[in-house]
Structure 1
Amino acid sequence: MDIKTILNKMMDLCLSFEKTECCVHLFGIRNKIYDWRGCIRRVAGGVIEPRTEFALRAIRRLLRSADLSERRLAAATGLTPSQLVVLQEVAREGETTAGGIATAVQFSQATVTSIVDRLVERSFVVRSRREKDRRKVWVTITAEGQEILSSAPDVMQDRFQQRFSQLADWEQAMIVAMLERLSAVLDADGLEAAPVIDAGIIDRIAPD
């Protein structure tokens, strides 16, 4: 879908609301009144909040949500978000290799190897070789690993993937374009990043 079509969709969405005041609900924001023409928010006491401050508040909410999600995961399982993603992939496949995990979760193979090392240390997965091909190392989840997965809370990454997949194609494209643009505005577009909501070093030993 090209950018012109996306912009037309956005215009249709805007026109579906009452003239200049609307409830922005594309991102689940409720009960807040906006002046559409000025892109400003009315706050208590009649003070007008510039769009820059509103944007910073939205970014701060996302950061806090990610941090809270990570803390809940650490408290329940002792895992980092990246370790959880790898463990979930091993459980999904039953038996796989570091290369297979790296392809599935889009981490580097070196990163996956380091994360698997941590999971082996905690007895959540085991490594094994087969007689027919001793060169290939297989990774299998253990009963302890299955148990820790069952106790893991709902994390931000899972919620995002589930809800994002339910959006219309043009909404998905618009959100991706906006996030890419935001990365560029913050000079973060050149940073290497794995597709996981985890602010820390991906292969760190333990949660921050």
Structure 2
Amino acid sequence: MSGKNIRSETIEAAEGNLELSLFQALRRLQQDAEMHAKRLARFGGLSPVQLMILQVLASERQLTASALSKRVSLTPATLSGQLDRLAERGLLLRQRDDQDRRRQWLLLTDEGRALQQQAPSLLPPEFVARFSALPEWEQHGITAALLRAASICGSED
């Protein structure tokens, strides 16, 4: 066997191990997120996505659905269904813009704001505690790596 073939096989094996390690790490994150989502559902019947929507709306005075869609990484169709559920529960309002009647603002109701303020963290408490204990540089590094992974993981939109 030539040196080129051995090197090629070594590189392929290393890439395969890296792929497996990445998949295992992503799978652990997914499992932990699913378990935490079940805990969140017990609080006020909110899904993590619905809680995230409430938190983004709480941090902004008002947003349009298209701006919110980008902030929470949901397609307009998916977001629309979530907004309908939140509006049915009286947690948010849709309000027409006075100047441009085509524009609709999304606002939290007092009930939505109260529920959002009482809600547990979007992240599991164990993760928050361990992450907070890390040096700030490492927190930023992990955050940057996850944001980068998300940017290369999904669709181009």
Query: What value does the CA root-mean-square deviation take over the aligned residues?
Result: 4.1
1:91 aligns with one of 50, 58, 69: 58
Structure 2: gaps spanning 5 or more residues = 1-19
Runs of 4+ in 1 over 6 A off after TM superposition: 53-57
1:96 and 1:177 map into 2 onto residues whose CA distance is 23
Aligned counterpart, 1:111: 78
| Counterparts of residues 61-140 of structure 1 (less than 5 Å) | 61-140=28-107
| 1:177-205 alpha-carbon deviations (Å, 9 max, x no partner) | 9967xx9xxxxx5x6599xxxxxxxxxxx
**Larger strand proportion, structure 1 or 2?**
1
Range with bigger deviation, 91-100 or 58-67: 58-67
* 1:55–1:144 Cα change, 3 Å: same
SS state at 2:32 partner: helix
Greater helix proportion: 2
C-alpha separation in 2, matches of 1:126 and 1:172: 36
The answer on 1:156 being equivalent to 2:123 is yes
Superposed CA offset, 1:86-134 (max 9, x none): 1111111121110111122232222222211111011000111133211
**How many angstroms apart in 2 are the aligned matches of 1:89 and 1:73?**
17
The amino acid that maps onto 1:154 is S
Residues 77 and 151 of structure 1 are in contact (CA less than 8 Å); yes or no, is this contact kept in structure 2?
no
Asked whether the equivalents of residues 65 and 156 of structure 1 are also in contact (C-alpha less than 8 Å), the reply is no
Equivalent residue pairs, number: 135
TM-score (norm 1): 0.50
Please point out which of 112, 120, 141 is paired with 1:145: 112
Q: 2-side partners of 1:66 and 1:132: how far apart?
A: 42
Instruction: Write the distance in 2 (CA, Å) between the matches of 1:72 and 1:173.
Output: 24
